[in-house]
Structure 1
Amino acid sequence: MIINILKIKIRLAITLSLLLFSVAAFSQNKFTIKGQLSPEINGKKILLSYKNNGVSVEDSTTAEMGKFMFKGLIGDPAYARISVDPPAMTTMQNVKSIDVRDFFIDAGEISVTGPGGVKTAVIKGGKTQGDYQRRFELYKPVQARVDSLNTLIGGYKEKGDTKAMDAARLEMNAEYAKTGKIDSNFIKENPNSFLSLDIWRSKHRGTLRSNFEPEFKKFSPAIRNTFAGKEIQAKFDLAKKLAPGQLAPEFKLKDTAGNEVSLSTLRGRNVFVCFYAPDFMNYDAFAFNLGRINRALKEKNTAMVTVYYGYADRPDSYWMETIKRSNFNWMNLNDIGGVNDAGSVSPTAKAYGLTYYTMPSALLIDTNGKILASQLKLNDTGLAQELAQLIK
């Protein structure tokens, strides 16, 4: 299958890790998408999907002799996808045949024109779409070489030439590395482009470390004042509140016996607290390392605490099953329902900036309730000793 680099580099969804600003609090502007494609798509369904300041939106219409139109409201420019007669499910077998196109929605009028379907159409709109097209042109030489290498790899595979396959894959990795430089230059040269911000936040998806803030400040005031910009700034502000030396936010959660436990009741002891959701990639290594941390800190007047967040498709009883199979033989609390697909919900999740994308997340807190260490690398096998050395 041909790999499309640009689609790899663009996120398919905008993460709602800290929805601190309501959509209504930001200006909403009208947009219109006018399409004129082949009359052969007459009667076919046209599907449009995008996110308006983090809120998922889907709209559909029917083409009439190749014509179609969408109208809506948009806050920030939105990464969008438009498709003709999409299948109910995308598979390896049908992915190449789907008539689909990615683009950016800006306020104002957008045109989608061409003699065929949307895949080959010319899409013209506002500044962000123009920037997106410019970036696409910068990617073209790399994409062409990647396509060529994919073809070569397929041929080498048929011949069983593993040496040539390995060499081609190494060259492909080198081509991918070029995209990072392309994006870095694009961001540097276009600080007033929303696309630059979109590329940048994709690169730093998840928890934004405070040392990234100077990079963010290089974007223009207009870009930093968008919904996405304010959301990013809120993450930086939260990171400062959770930095070493700050008082850890209070929480009150229930343990396995149903008793309420407050963080403040653990004063006088150091506290290692880890917020997690089950079954992520490398979960077993994570759980094993928590055991290593527990052994390193148990003689250091330290309470080991894990706080469980469940997924919507897991029954509440899965918490107990997770504790047992993970050998979490210390204080276990839960905040089931505190995080959902939209982000932080409960007071604890909001106070610690927890989402499915930022967990697992852990802090080491001293005997006075102040943070000793945060933003810990929980799969680092040397973390246990590093934390033990922090405790006096």
Structure 2
Amino acid sequence: MKRIVNVLFAGVLAMTVLSCSEEKKGYTLNGEISDVKNGMVYLKKYQDKSFIDVDSAVITDGVFKFEGACTEPLAYGLTTFKDSKRPLVFFLDNEEMQLKMNESEKVLTVTGSALNDLYAQNAPLTRQDGYSIDSLVSAHPASAVTPYFVVKDFAYKLNLEEMKALRAKLDASLDGTMYVNQIDDFIKRMENIQVGAVAPDFTLPDVDGNPVTLSALRGKYVLIDFWASWCPDCRKENPNIVAAWNKFKDKNFTILGVSLDRKKEPWLAAIEKDQLTWTHVSDLKDWKSDAAVQYAIRWIPMNFLLDPNGVILAVGLEGEALQQKLEEVLK
């Protein structure tokens, strides 16, 4: 009897070890590329709104292979151009997958992954009118693909309550994953910039490199104006802001322009050309500007009107709405 028990225990132990080893196995990507016979192919991971390099492989006679392990299922991309910011995207988990690609025709076919099948079914549709992200969340609340689409294609256009509703439907098994963490962080930042909240403080360099802190402007009504020299809609809106500035600048009102420019020269040139004579700041980080991230900026132009205590009075005032609101509060 003791021998039987030992044999059973050994069998259970072997099955446990085998199960653990299977859970820890990594991915294998067996690839074929029809438009490059010999060269290099690069594997990139989608993170923080861009693709970062993960690995590379040699292409020999149109064939390549990647092996590795990922900590969680995420969106990845393949490209034969090392500096490409638009690789062919697929969803990667620790599975063996077969890939066929033609980068010149922007074609990537993946088999062997149910997760990627869900991604491939929805990727062409998410930016079409009428697509329901709520339906995807309801049908696949535990899939890692679902929060990816929420972050990439819907966070920039849904309001706070809509984002909260989607988040509440996601399965708890996704808590702590990268894309769900991004949703949670985004919701928190949106909560911080609602009307009635005290505007989050920040410090950025002005045109001469001197630090300017938002809270130092307390005591005045402040319009925080997010814009950029490369943004046509911003440049079109600038005359309205100039008119408001000229009308109210002597009535305890000021403007803090926050640019999402990438380079200093066009930023300064636009300030001069558009006659924007108020204080301007920028860290020249484009959409990754510290203040833009802090204020959950999803499009520009975007502005926030603050009272003398730094409390947000209004958001997104454009055209006549800006002057009307200023007339109301600066009686």
How would you bin the TM-score normalised by the shorter chain? 0.7 to 0.9
Q: Tell me, yes or no, if the aligned pair for 1:44 and 1:62 is still in contact at 8 Å.
A: yes
Equivalent positions of 1:353-372 (< 5 A) are 353=296, 358-372=299-313
> Does residue 324 in structure 1 map to residue 311 in structure 2?
no
What is the total number of aligned residue pairs between the two structures?
300
Same amino acid, percent of matched pairs: 21
C-alpha displacement at 1:69, in angstroms? 0.9
CA distance in 1, matches of 2:107, 2:141: 30
Aligned with 2:146: secondary structure?
helix
Q: Tell me, yes or no, if the aligned pair for 1:101 and 1:119 is still in contact at 8 Å.
A: yes
Given candidates 3, 9, 28, the residue that maps to 1:32 is 28
Given candidates 308, 321, 324, the residue that maps to 1:385 is 324
> Does residue 132 in structure 1 map to residue 119 in structure 2?
yes
CA distance in 1, matches of 2:106, 2:273: 48
Aligned with 2:232: secondary structure?
coil
Q: Which consecutive aligned stretches of 4+ in structure 1 deviate over 6 angstroms post-superposition? A: 85-89, 117-121
C-alpha displacement at 1:66, in angstroms? 5.3
Larger radius of gyration: 2
> Does residue 50 in structure 1 map to residue 44 in structure 2?
yes
C-alpha displacement at 1:377, in angstroms? 5.1
C-alpha displacement at 1:250, in angstroms? 3.0
| Structure 2 counterpart of 1:365, one-letter code | L
Structure 2 residue runs without a partner (length 5+): 1-23
248 and 44 in structure 1: CA distance in 2 versus 1, 3 angstrom threshold: same
Aligned with 2:152: secondary structure?
helix
209 and 88 in structure 1: CA distance in 2 versus 1, 3 angstrom threshold: closer
Tell me the equivalent position of 1:291.
242
Structure 1 residue runs without a partner (length 5+): 1-27, 90-99, 140-175
Deviations for 1:210-229, whole angstroms, at most 9, x for unmatched residues? Answer: 22222222121233431111
> Does residue 123 in structure 1 map to residue 70 in structure 2?
no
CA distance in 1, matches of 2:77, 2:265: 38
| Structure 2 counterpart of 1:385, one-letter code | Q
Tell me the equivalent position of 1:282.
233
| Structure 2 counterpart of 1:265, one-letter code | A
Question: TM-score, normalization: structure 2?
Answer: 0.72
CA distance in 2, matches of 1:247, 1:88: 41
Tell me the equivalent position of 1:236.
187
Q: Tell me, yes or no, if the aligned pair for 2:74 and 2:144 is still in contact at 8 Å.
A: no
Deviations for 1:22-68, whole angstroms, at most 9, x for unmatched residues? Answer: xxxxxx98422123x48x88952352443254451264433445542
Deviations for 1:177-197, whole angstroms, at most 9, x for unmatched residues? Answer: 45x25x553333222222222
Q: Answer 1 or 2: higher relative contact order, Cα 8 Å, separation at least 6.
A: 1
Q: Tell me, yes or no, if the aligned pair for 2:42 and 2:81 is still in contact at 8 Å.
A: no
The alignment yields a C-alpha RMSD, in angstroms, of 3.9
> Does residue 108 in structure 1 map to residue 103 in structure 2?
no
Given candidates 191, 200, 203, the residue that maps to 2:141 is 191
289 and 72 in structure 1: CA distance in 2 versus 1, 3 angstrom threshold: farther
CA distance in 1, matches of 2:286, 2:68: 27
